[in-house]
Amino acid sequence: MSDPLGKLDDLISVLKGERDERRRHKRVKALKRTRIHFGDPSKTMRCFVADLSPTGARLRPADAPKLPDNFELELEHDLFLQCNVQYRGDEEVGVSFEIPAASR
């Protein structure tokens, strides 16, 4: 059974503006225009990277509801990262990056 007092403490922290940061790495604002690739090479979607960390990002894709759970994010012309959706909103998604163990 979950701890209701712990959840209440979390909610109060959020309401007070004291966000409970659970990420391993702090994200930085990016506001970068980029592309998402999924399916065959012709399937792409415009996207803004709102913030970025070494392990994930918050993205604002052109059509968030149509975005698959796994895709490739083109950050630079020579930097492509495999992404897994961790949360999904109406206009944005949070993703984690699939980074090979040797690269971490």
Give pLDDT tens digits for 51-102: 888 888 999 999 999 999 999 999 887 888 999 999 999 899 999 998 765 5
Percent of the chain with pLDDT over 70: 66
Largest CA distance in the chain: 50
User: Residue 10 domain-assigned?
Assistant: no
Distances 17 to 12, 13, 40, 95 between C-alpha atoms, Å: 8, 6, 43, 23
User: Residue 17 domain-assigned?
Assistant: no
Total domains, the chain: 1
User: Residue 92 domain-assigned?
Assistant: yes
User: Residue 48 domain-assigned?
Assistant: yes
User: Residue 7 domain-assigned?
Assistant: no
Cα of 81 vs its chain's centroid, Å: 12
What residues contact 77, with CB distance under 8 A and at least 6 apart? none
Q: Which domain holds residue 50?
A: 24-103
User: Residue 57 domain-assigned?
Assistant: yes
User: Residue 76 domain-assigned?
Assistant: yes
Q: Are 68 and 34 in contact (CB under 8 A)?
A: no
User: Residue 18 domain-assigned?
Assistant: no
pTM: 0.69
CATH number at residue 59: 2.40.10.220
Q: Are 92 and 64 in contact (CB under 8 A)?
A: yes
Percent of the chain with pLDDT over 90: 41
